[in-house]
């Protein structure tokens, strides 16, 4: 059985959503990030969540990699377009766009004080992250026309990933006022039974 080391509200939301959508059995192991145990650090020396231990004992880190792996491990759930499928390039594009850009900029905004050793740098880092996020969400808003999902009619693993990142934004009401299609996407994804279970488990 897969073992998912997680912390409520963290990036472990994405693989949790994938497991729940696939109807897969998995074990969740709670991690206290304020006091990382030696046992957890022995599993992942980075001390980061999510951390996924595969059924064969191999280690997988990075939430986007987990979305891809879980989706491909449970093909009947149809959460990841297979190689050769017309939707595969778009899926890969948006998964890594979200991971490399939106996730990164969100962390820069939330943890701006950790991003530089220079005193007083946090305000500028946060402002630059907010500017970048505005641009990224404008792109996503346009992509959701006509929607209803990032790949059009097909729901895939990039949709709960976007749902997770959207919920992390500092002023989500202002974001939704500017990006009504994004709000529609967030609401639709959140209404799915699997995602509702993940939301409840994470206090979202």
Look up the pTM and report it. Answer: 0.97
Q: Residue 128: what pLDDT? A: 98
Q: Work out whether the CA dihedral 31, 46, 12, 136 comes out positive or negative.
A: positive
| DSSP label at residue 72 | H
Q: Do residue 93 and residue 62 come from a single domain?
A: no
Buried b (16+ CB within 10 A) or exposed e, 171-202: eeeebbeebebbbebbebbbebebbeebbebb
The CA-CA-CA angle for residues 131, 135, 140, to 5°, reads: 145
Q: Number of folded domains in the chain?
A: 2
Residue 187 lies in a domain: yes
pLDDT at 188: 98
Domain endpoint, select from 42, 77, 112: 77
Pair (107, 174) in one structural domain: yes
> Is 42 in the same domain as 94?
no
Q: Answer yes or no: do 188 and 154 share one domain.
A: yes
Q: Containing domain of residue 165, as a range?
A: 88-192
Are residue 60 and residue 100 in the same domain, yes or no?
A: no
pLDDT in tens, the chain (204 residues): 999 999 999 999 999 999 999 999 999 999 998 888 999 999 999 999 999 999 999 999 999 999 999 999 999 999 999 999 999 999 999 999 999 999 999 999 999 999 999 999 999 999 999 999 999 999 999 999 999 999 999 999 999 999 999 999 999 999 999 999 999 999 999 999 999 999 999 999
């Amino acid at each position: 059985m897969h073992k998912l080391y997680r912390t409520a509200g963290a990036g472990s939301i994405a693989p949790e959503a994938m497991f729940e959508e696939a109807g897969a059995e998995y074990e969740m192991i709670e991690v206290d990030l304020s006091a990382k145990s030696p046992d957890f650090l022995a599993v992942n020396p980075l001390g980061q969540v999510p951390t996924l231990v595969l059924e064969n004992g191999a280690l997988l880190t990075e939430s986007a990699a987990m979305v891809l792996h879980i989706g491909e491990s449970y093909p009947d759930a149809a959460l990841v377009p297979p190689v050769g499928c017309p939707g595969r390039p778009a899926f890969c594009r948006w998964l890594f766009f979200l991971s490399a850009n939106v996730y990164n900029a969100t962390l820069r905004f939330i943890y701006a004080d950790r991003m530089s050793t220079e005193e007083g740098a946090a305000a500028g880092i946060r402002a630059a992250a907010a500017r970048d996020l505005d641009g990224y969400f404008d792109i996503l808003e346009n992509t959701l026309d006509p929607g209803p999902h990032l790949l059009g009619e097909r729901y895939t693993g990039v949709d709960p990933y976007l749902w997770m990142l959207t919920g992390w934004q500092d002023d989500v009401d202002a974001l939704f006022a500017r990006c009504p299609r994004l709000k529609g996407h967030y609401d639709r994804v959140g209404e799915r039974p699997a995602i509702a279970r993940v939301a409840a488990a994470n206090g979202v």
